[in-house]
Amino acid sequence: MKFARLGPSGAEIPVLIEGEEYLDLRPVTSDVNGDFLAGDFRARVESARAAGDLPELQGAAEMRIGAPIARPSAVICIGQNYAAHARESGSEPPTVPIMFLKTPNTVVGPNDAVTIPRGSEKTDWEVELGIVIGARASHLDSPDEADAHIAGYVTANDVSERAFQMEVSGGQWSKGKIAPGFNPTGPWLVTPDEVQVDDLRLRSWVNGEPRQDSNTNDMIFDVRAIVHHLSQYVALEPGDLILTGTPQGVAFGGKFPYLKAGDVVDIEIEGLGHQRQEFVAWEAQK
């Protein structure tokens, strides 16, 4: 199944996408959130669809695309999870997953404009596979248990400000990760049965020029290992989002310039959809 949320920010309508049709999910749920995902949401949606209870949403193709999940309670990220990216960052590949956090207000629609923070000179892009949690996961006994706790997968851009992340970090990375809008997500939430998560192509472009081109089979720690590992330290809740790391080809590696106002970034993961953001200059709020 493929889910999306359409409409103005803060008033998105949940939909099921079937081919060219957008079916209104409001007879089943008010939103694609933790409460919805914690239940047997696929069975509920299939039953409603089979009964003809999901009307087509008129004008859906013209609506803004929001993040495919409502604001999560947590956004947990894995760093340097592709060996070549670790090396372009000047580090050896990690032997245990590196964890850092983004704030929930970083999660925005896949095509929303992203504001370059005030004073930033090193804003960077990162295409990443996102895991959406569907059942509470705490102290899982093995990676084999992870699949039962995953609702689906999303495309994400882990936008980063490298000076904030590395130079004034105080030893943690999150300062460079938590500016509002620094996590464009979507366009879709895709259930696990629809994708071969261990073999997905990830790509990014800046102003139409190729940057990243890799595959999830190059991850050091795969999806199941990540969920299992995190569950030893944090209780993952339904609706939470995990970003699994980015491959090589970012500005931090030194081959490409950092982003400036007017730049356009495209992000794509096979089977999980395409997103595009224009980066805009910071302006004081009135």
Task: Return the percent helix, strand and coil in the chain, to nearest 5.
Answer: 20, 30, 50
pLDDT of residue 172: 82
What's the pLDDT band for 286 if we cut at 50, 70, 90? low
Whole-number CA gyration radius for the chain: 18
pLDDT, tens digit (0-9, with 9 covering 90-100), for 48-67: 999 999 999 999 999 999 99
- Which of 168-177, 181-190, 266-275 bottoms out in mean pLDDT, i.e. has the lowest? 168-177
pLDDT of residue 210: 98
Tell me the domain boundaries of the chain. Answer: 2-65, 69-281
pLDDT, tens digit (0-9, with 9 covering 90-100), for 68-97: 999 999 999 999 999 877 777 777 888 999
Amino acid at 260: K
Residue 124 has pLDDT above 70, yes or no: yes
pLDDT of residue 284: 77
> What letter does residue 48 receive in the DSSP assignment?
H
pLDDT of residue 88: 75
Percent of the chain with pLDDT over 90: 91
Which is higher by pLDDT, 181 or 92? 181
Residue 148 has pLDDT above 70, yes or no: yes
Q: Token pair of 153, please?
A: 């997968």
C-alpha–C-alpha distance, residues 211 and 223, integer Å? 24
Strands 127-133 and 150-157: antiparallel
For domain 69-281, the question of CATH label 3.30.720.120 is answered with no
C-alpha–C-alpha distance, residues 243 and 232, integer Å? 17
pLDDT of residue 266: 98
Residue 139 has pLDDT above 90, yes or no: yes
C-alpha–C-alpha distance, residues 246 and 125, integer Å? 9
